[in-house]
Structure 1
């Protein structure tokens, strides 16, 4: 009798061996892919999850993405995803699929050079307008920032000054989304950045009052007395960007025993971390950060 070969599902870049791992690293995009290509059912079969196998088999393969994901969330009891989060994620997938279809059209058809240039500029302009139309939706803004980096970095490089001050007025939350992408940061923050823009970032985005006003529910705020101990705030797999910490408080990447960063290291620099640990002896001090 042939031996059953067990394999892992890769969800959000993590190998998953059991239902608990799936719950922890549940990725809507990955789960849709594995559902469509049948790999999810194969995994459930070889891992011996008979009940889940029957439930997944019963899902209509012709149903829309939201229906399929909603059913999978129920089957695998993923408590961290609600309907609004599923809808946002599905919206991003549809948007990126449309962009990929457009890219495929360009590859299949030999458009005239001028037409390509005109379409490229139009695409960039449309993307900026899409940010303005979705100025309060951080999930969409992050997807737009990824698309800008992949498809329109050249135009961003030519237009970064005008773009910053345009979005500062029309969609300031989009500025935070763009600053989560490493390729863009040098234009707006740090020693290499345009001095006028960097000064504006510090005064118009990175004060505690402005960050709270612009980011709203997308800003995470911690007020905690840690008794001079390191307090774990986020797990290592959570990518985040620190907006501000108070003097006399310290932070570090999760699990890093040799790191200890203070407010002069972090503030005005939007330092990115893999997870977060926090040390504070004042319950009124604030740590402000956002996930990237």
Structure 2
């Protein structure tokens, strides 16, 4: 079990993010998208600061710089996703955002000349196809402003990639704390400029925002950062693509969405992508060793 601690952590993260889809839909009845971002990041920063306050006293310059960069990537990804939703359909936005699963391995190859497992590449393509089936109803019509959603994918890809890079040398908790704080500061500057700093707090609105802040932000990103210490960046992107599958499942359970054959096919492709990335390399290695012995 300990051998798969990274995979388990990322799968749990995907489940938590999946629950965030219907909860976000509920929160949007009370808050603007930018207010939700500001609220969830502040909750995350405060919770992490309270629980791990001793680590704040020992923050190194390296952690501040790396965590700060992750915070910029994190807020940038959510901001482009939010703005993109104003100009395209939710299905297009979800699909184009998920392109990050294909971008991550190319970042590794282009910037660091790192070889990527062919099985992870095939898994990334399969995951992308599965997400397309889950997200798109009919045809994908691209318009010029969809580049905003693609920019969201780029930011998420860099966030996943550099989280994997940084967590190998830095403490996962302090990296998460710093990036959450930076994202919160940026978020509150944005809603201050937009004149949306007054949050409409009621019991219902507070419940949805607290869930997004505590689970979908604090717990999920802490789990992601810790888990990526044990998993390659490309495999992490594939495992996190399960967010779409769990988003579908919880939307069916909580919002009573109708199950279609297209949804089932998309879910199957994502599961196949994960199985391929996880098991096929080890199978071929064993087969190669067997041949060399013979």
**Larger RCO, structure (CA 8 Å, separation 6 or more):** 2
Give 1 or 2: higher strand fraction: 1
Q: With structure 2 as the length reference, what TM-score do the two structures score?
A: 0.25
| Rg comparison, structure with higher value | 1
Query: TM-score of the superposition, structure 1-length normalised?
Result: 0.26
